[in-house]
Amino acid sequence: MAKKDAEGTLEFLLAFDGHIHRYGGGYWLKFEIEKVKESEGRPHGLDYSFTLHGPDNRRLIGFDNAHSVPAKGSRFNKRPKAMDHWHRTEIDEGRPYTFKDAETLMDDFFDEVERVLAEHNIPFETVEVKEGDKP
C-alpha cells in the first residue's frame, strides 16, 4: 500500500473514534482510537479499543492495546513488546495481535464481528451510527 493510501486509511480509522454502531437484537460496537506518541508498546502510534457488546452490554469480542498479554504457546515464551491483542470471547484474557496497518486492523475486527453476529443469527447490517459511550 502506498504511503498516501496508508495515511488516508489511518485518517479514516481515526474518524471512528467515539462512534457506536448498533446492530439488530441490541448488539453494538464501540470504537475508541487516538494517535499517541510511538513507544515500544505502541510502535504504530495508536491507542485503540474496538469492542462488540451483546444486548446485556457484556463485551463479546475486542481488539485493543490497553495491556500486554501472554505470548502464544509455551508459558516460557516472552510477552510481546507491542501490546496489541484481541479477545475472541467475553472471557478470553487476550491473545497477541500482530498490527500490520489500519486497514488490516479494521478488516480483522469486522471479520470477527461478522463471525459472532452470525453465531447469534444477527444480520451483519448496521442499523444506526451515533457518537457516545452507550448504544
Domain encompassing residue 13: 3-125
Model confidence over 61-116: pLDDT tens digits? 999 987 777 666 556 555 556 688 898 887 888 888 888 988 899 999 999 999 99
The count of structural domains within the chain is 1
Asked whether 53 and 59 are in contact (CB, 8 A), the reply is yes
4-22 pLDDT per residue, tens: 466 778 888 899 999 999 9
Indicate whether 135 belongs to any domain. no
pTM of the model: 0.83
Kindly state whether residue 75 falls inside one of the protein's structural domains: yes
